[in-house]
Structure formats: structure tokens, C-alpha cells
Amino acid sequence: MARQRQDYFDALGWVTQLMTQVRSEHLEARTPCVDFDVRGLLGHLIGTAHRGLGTARGIPTRGIPHVITNVADAELASTYATLAASIREAWSPLAAVDGVIAPWGPCTAAEAARGFTVETITHGWDLAVATGQPSDAPNGIADRCLSYASAAIPDRLRGVMYDAPVVGAKASSTTEQLAHLLGHKREPR
């Protein structure tokens, strides 16, 4: 669990760094995630962080909006950074086998951390591509995510939470391969 937890924390740190570099002219730009422009993606990342925090704290997450829209543009990055710090605190005492209820259902803390890491890295890639920032996740996280992502994304969630995998597109990194697995590709659709 220590490695998985650290990957989740590093993913949060990477996205926090990416968010601090978003300028106001980026906010309406399209992203590789067909559902979002940059502003919407930032709101979704904040919503995902709230769900990650709720999962660790044992708070039901079903009522947390998919996209948080009540944060001022100038406060998006700082809001995420605050949530990331709270997530680190809440997840630190959990053991791999501890039972939690993630947004997709009951699972172990290790399984939930994997799911949140995959989601965070993939949307970090979306944000980096949309804003012209380096798009490789740090510390080999994407490599490890690829080793379990197919199992972490059950077929029942395809078309609900995740798109079909991208086929035939060339990936320049393992982070982009992970994004392709979740149905995201470099050219906004």
C-alpha cells in the first residue's frame, strides 16, 4: 500500500503543479477529454479529489458533483492544493486491505487508491496537453498504472465513467498510453 499511496500522492502533486500554470486564456480551451474544456476539467479534478477524500474518510461520495462549479477561476489551483493536502492526511493511516466505499462501489483501500491514481494521472495528462505543459507523469507512476489499469476499469464502467480505449493512435509515452486506455487522445474530439 505504501507504493500505491505514494503514487496517488505524487499524482495529486503533479496535477497541483499543472494547475498552478493554467492561465486565464487556457480556461476555455478544449482538452483531450471530450467532455471538458480546461475550466470544466479543473472542476472535475476538484470533484474527483473530493470523492478521494470522502472515500478515505468513509463519507458517502455519490452526492459529490462530477464537476465542481462553485470555485472562482483564481482559486481553482489553491482549492485543489488544499484538497490534495487533506487527501494525504486522510489516506495515510489506511492499510491496503481496509474496506472503503469508492464512487464505483465497495473495495479495498489499495484498489480505491489505484482507481483514483489512474483517474488523476489521466486527467493530468489531459490538462498538460490542453495547456501546452510537459505531459509525462512523474516517478514512473504511469508505468505502474498501466500494469493494473485494465483491472481497475471494469467493462461495466465503459461508457459510464470511461470511454472505450483509443485504438490505432501512436502514444509518445506511457502516460499517453494510459490516457488512450481510458479513451482520451491528443487531438480534442
Q: What is the pLDDT of residue 38?
A: 97
In this prediction the pTM is 0.91
Q: What is the C-alpha separation between 130 and 35, in angstroms, rounded?
A: 13
Query: What is the total residue count of the chain?
Result: 189
What is the per-residue pLDDT across 47-85, written as a single tens digit (0 to 9) for each? 999 999 999 999 999 999 999 999 999 999 999 999 999
What is the per-residue pLDDT across 2-18, written as a single tens digit (0 to 9) for each? 888 999 999 999 999 99
| Residues 130/146, Cβ–Cβ less than 8 Å | no
Question: Mean pLDDT for the chain?
Answer: 89
* Predicted confidence (pLDDT) at residue 28 exceeds the cutoff of 70: yes
